[in-house]
Structure 1
Amino acid sequence: MLEYISAINLPAFLLIFVRVTSFFVTLPIFSYRNLPAQHKVGISLFLAALMYFTIDIPELTIDASYFILLFKEAAVGLTVGLLAYIILAAIQIAGGFIDFQMGFAIANVIDPQTGVQSPLIGQYMYTITLLFILAVNGHHLMIDGVFYSYELIAIDQLIPIHNENWIVYIIDAFNQMFVIAFLMAVPIVGCLFLVDVALGIIARTVPQLNVFVVGLPLKIFVALLVLVIAMTFYIMLIQNLFGTMLETMQGLMELFGGE
């Protein structure tokens, strides 16, 4: 397919390839270490070739402004993909809140997708989130978002750097991540707080009972029981969170496009 790309339009194809590749560097699921780097490049090359014959390609020449466009394409892909990852990171933040109350904060595990430490409950919930996204073909919607970005941000259009609205938008999305994480952790953290209050009352009324020995397994049992009961509720939250992620990506691309 690439043999049909003429030398005159090769700069345009390179711009498309840079944007798609930049998306896959930070976009959830596609950016994880489980996917080999050569596969990421191959998928990016294939998608860039498809998009080349689909979107409107302007005549471009390699000059000083062309390198600015290259930097713009990389910035768009990295920023939008990173924003999507930040929204999904609310799952692990909520898991960190829960683990801290359960006493699991000292037992972090290595996340095979990112290679960094993550809380136990957070990793469990994040794995369920990824499986949910794959089950509803959410990765197809992410690829569709990459293609949709060319309708909002033309290939030869620069980002309005002087417009500070997109900076405020990213900060608001970052704040929204902590709000979502807090709301997801409230049911279990609230129950564990009541357990702490009950243990405090027991420690004052029955001093012979060692609450430090009883408290940890009791809090773990209560947290896991509430987690099982509230799992349906969490699936609904994950569904809303995924919709929020797609809307946030679209909103940022609209601001990049000057709308």
Structure 2
Amino acid sequence: MLELININSLPVFLLVFVRILAFFVTMPLFSYRTIPLPFKIGFSFFLAMIMFYTIDTQAVIVDEMFIFLIVKEALVGLLIGLVAYIVVSAIQVAGGFIDFQMGFAIANVMDPQTGAQSPITGQFLYIIALLFLLSVDGHHLIIDGIFNSYQFVPIDNFIPFGNRSIPDFVINAFNMMFIIAFQIAIPIVGCLFLVDLALGIIARTVPQLNVFVVGLPLKIIVSFLALFVFLSLYVSLAKNLFHTMFEVMRGLMQLFGGG
């Protein structure tokens, strides 16, 4: 504690604190509104206090470039958390695909965690994915990722924004999000497509039957049955999703470090 109280170490501690706090602003699970702001600030402070003694702080020079180091630390935390949030948003996109086919697209709900509108099925799958992440101690891996970020992006280095591979990497992560969303949604959307095909055949062969009245309840029943069967497969997809999230975070940190 004496070293932390020393006035010479306070600027370095501020750099560590800014990166961790910025990381918690956009990182999935830690950035939600259901977590009180004082808890985020306090947890970031004590985590920064612990990590401060494990980081080589001798290379940090407090001069006119120090303000740019603070901005760099904030950008590192925000961008790494944001790219992880983009990957996890594949669940919400997949839920939107499913709800559109089910007929639930008009019944979006307010997500209390993010404050944004969310599809009903996407919210259901998202909660299951978060519970899975907590059950396998994924939140510990997220905190471990914050700690390992200093091995890839040292506290005294700047981000090489001239590196063209950084925006390409973010675009590829965005494309990967849609591919994962399609993989999650295709079992149920495929079943509903077969239901639409069957209803179209019935409409041509039995014109007296009003398929618009029968179709919506039938598609909802088939969707629930497909979801029930699909949940076992969804757990493995959620595992691959979070594995991809950690790989994307690691790759972006390597690019930030000039690797």
TM-score range, shorter chain: over 0.9
Q: Secondary structure of the residue that 1:191 maps to in structure 2?
A: helix
Residues 157-189 of structure 1, C-alpha deviations (whole Å, 9 max, x = no match): 000111111111001000110011011111110
- The letter for the 2-side match of 1:108 is N
2:194 & 2:105 partners in 1: Cα distance?
Answer: 19
Question: Percent identity among equivalent residues?
Answer: 61
- The letter for the 1-side match of 2:199 is L
Return the offset for 1:56: 1.1
For normalisation by structure 1, the TM-score amounts to: 0.98
Could you list the runs of 4 or more consecutive aligned residues of structure 1 that deviate by over 3 angstroms after TM superposition?
1-5, 59-62
1:83 & 1:112 partners in 2: Cα distance?
Answer: 21
Equivalent in the alignment of 1:187? 187
CA RMSD for the aligned pairs?
1.0
- The letter for the 2-side match of 1:89 is S
| Count of matched residue pairs | 259
1:146 & 1:219 partners in 2: Cα distance?
Answer: 44
Return the offset for 1:61: 4.2
Contact 2:153–2:256 (CA under 8 A) maintained in structure 1 = yes
- The letter for the 2-side match of 1:121 is T
Equivalent in the alignment of 1:146? 146
Residues 193-222 of structure 1, C-alpha deviations (whole Å, 9 max, x = no match): 110010011011111111000000000000
Return the offset for 1:78: 0.2
Q: Secondary structure of the residue that 1:64 maps to in structure 2?
A: coil
Contact 1:9–1:59 (CA under 8 A) maintained in structure 2 = no
Residues 45-97 of structure 1, C-alpha deviations (whole Å, 9 max, x = no match): 00000010111112544332111111100000000000111100000100000
1:43-192 equivalences under 5 Å are 43-192=43-192
Equivalent in the alignment of 1:232? 232
1:256 & 1:14 partners in 2: Cα distance?
Answer: 20
Gaps of 5+ in 2: none
Residues 107-166 of structure 1, C-alpha deviations (whole Å, 9 max, x = no match): 001111001100000000000000000111100000000000000100000001111111
Return the offset for 1:4: 3.7
Contact 2:4–2:13 (CA under 8 A) maintained in structure 1 = no
For normalisation by structure 2, the TM-score amounts to: 0.98
Gaps of 5+ in 1: none
2:249 & 2:12 partners in 1: Cα distance?
Answer: 24
Contact 2:4–2:10 (CA under 8 A) maintained in structure 1 = no
Contact 1:9–1:60 (CA under 8 A) maintained in structure 2 = no
